[in-house]
Structure 1
Amino acid sequence: MNSRSVLIFTSAVCVSAVWAQDEKSINDLRDAIVALAPRSIDPHEAELLSVTAHTMSRRLAREYGVHGDPAIHNFLINVGAKKRGICADYTRDIGSRLKEFHFKTLVLHWGSAYAKESDENNALVVTARNQPFQDGIVLDGWRRGGR
């Protein structure tokens, strides 16, 4: 087996492992969203939201050039070495994409913790229609650097 074949095989195994983790995470999020209000949430909307949130988070991490700990990336933004990739960027960009779907049974909210403090964090919160914000699920694309 030549080195090229080994590289292709190794890449395929790694991609398969990552996709398996993503698939489980996508399914878990979809199920959690449906569980918010099983009689009123459209499972297809929950699936679309979950897949899109996951894929957008990974895509944005590549676009922002995030490698490793997102807190280090924030430092690079603060010193001018990077332009985008703080939690608010993820929230804005993922939220913009999700809003294009005009969900009928789901509502997206902007969530903020420790607003206007140095450790402020922003994320999307998804709820069933007519459900309180506090009962929603946090979608934090920044938290693990898009993973």
Structure 2
Amino acid sequence: MKNNTKKRIATLGMATMLLASSTTAIAHPGRTDSNGGHRDNQNKSGLGSYHYHCGDNPAHLHKNGVCPYSAKATTKSSKKSSTSTKSADIKKAQQKLNELGYNCGKADGVMGTNTKAAIKKFQKNKGLAVDGVLGPKTKKALGI
């Protein structure tokens, strides 16, 4: 009888641990898209209707398109110089794209929809990866 009771207690303990771990491991259901994010229409995460899961990090938002868990996330003190440099690069790219006939509108240093579309067309025509991002290869191809 004692042996049977020990088995029941062990089984009950393992079942309890299994149930407890499975309910805490899953925050909410949902598959991620190619950007690593997904819709959470019932807002179970408390972050809104769309958020990201990058790596093993908890659900989070990407402010200005940057993952706070990435190595490229900047601190507030260095962010101003990085943003102004980026804005200057965008303006140079816009001027060059307009010169080459890729109409991206006014060269204002803002990465808007027209600029992204022009960059994508340029990248496609130059055989670069088409992502609409003003990365090192695109800058080099533009000569900036």
**TM-score of the two chains, using structure 2 as the length reference:** 0.25
Structure with more relative contact order (C-alpha pairs < 8 Å, separation 6 or more): 1
In terms of fraction of residues, the more strand-rich structure is 1
In terms of fraction of residues, the more helix-rich structure is 1
Report which of the two structures shows the higher radius of gyration computed on alpha carbons.
2
